[in-house]
Amino acid sequence: MLVSAAWIIPAVLGAIDAAGQRHVWGGRFDLRAVLFSSLDWLLYGAFVPVIFRIAHRWPIARPHIRSRLALHVVASLLFCVARASAGTLIKLLLQPDSFTQGVGKFYASWVLTTLPFGAAVYLAVVGIEHAIAYFAQVNRLSEQLSSAKLTALQAQLNPHFLFNSLNTVAVLVRDGDANRATRVIEQLSDVLRSTLGRPRGNEVSLDDELELVRQYLAVEQARFSDRLRTEINIDPALLSAAVPSFAVQHLVENAVRHGIANRSDAGRILIRATRNGPMLEILVEDDGAGVATES
| All residues at 6 or more sequence positions from 59 whose CB lies less than 8 Å from its CB, including other chains | 68, 130, 133
- Tens of pLDDT along the chain (295 residues) come to 676 777 888 888 888 888 888 777 777 777 888 888 888 888 888 899 999 999 999 999 888 899 999 999 999 999 999 999 998 888 888 888 777 778 888 888 888 988 899 999 999 999 999 999 888 888 887 776 666 666 655 555 556 677 777 888 888 888 888 888 888 888 888 887 777 776 666 788 999 989 989 988 888 888 787 788 889 999 899 999 998 888 888 889 888 888 887 777 888 899 999 988 888 999 999 887 665 555 4
- Note whether 8 and 123 are same-domain residues: yes
DSSP bridge pairs for 273: 234, 282
Candidates 250, 234, 242; CA nearest to 279 is: 242
Same domain, 130 and 236: no
- Does 222 reside within a domain? yes
pLDDT at residue 154, as a whole number = 58
Q: In which domain, by residue range, is 259 found?
A: 177-286
Whole-angstrom Cα distance, residue 33 to residue 131?
A: 36
* pLDDT given at position 147: 67
Residues 106 and 40 placed together within one structural domain of the fold: yes
Query: Which distant-in-sequence residues (6+ apart) come within 8 Å of 3 by Cβ?
Result: 45, 48, 52, 125, 128
Do 18 and 102 sit in the same domain of this protein?
yes
Q: CA–CA separation, 150 vs 145, rounded Å? A: 9
Q: How confident is the model over 17-66, as pLDDT tens digits?
A: 888 887 777 777 778 888 888 888 888 888 999 999 999 999 998 888 99
Residue 270 and residue 187 share a domain? yes
- H-state helical runs in 95-177: 103-174
Same domain, 13 and 129: yes
* Domain contains 94: yes
For residue 243, the cross-strand partners are 204
Residues 129 and 191 placed together within one structural domain of the fold: no
Is 0.95 topped by the overall pTM? no
Domain count, the chain: 2
What pLDDT is attached to residue 295?
43
- Phi then psi for residue 289, to 5 deg, are -75, -20
Indicate whether 7 belongs to any domain: yes
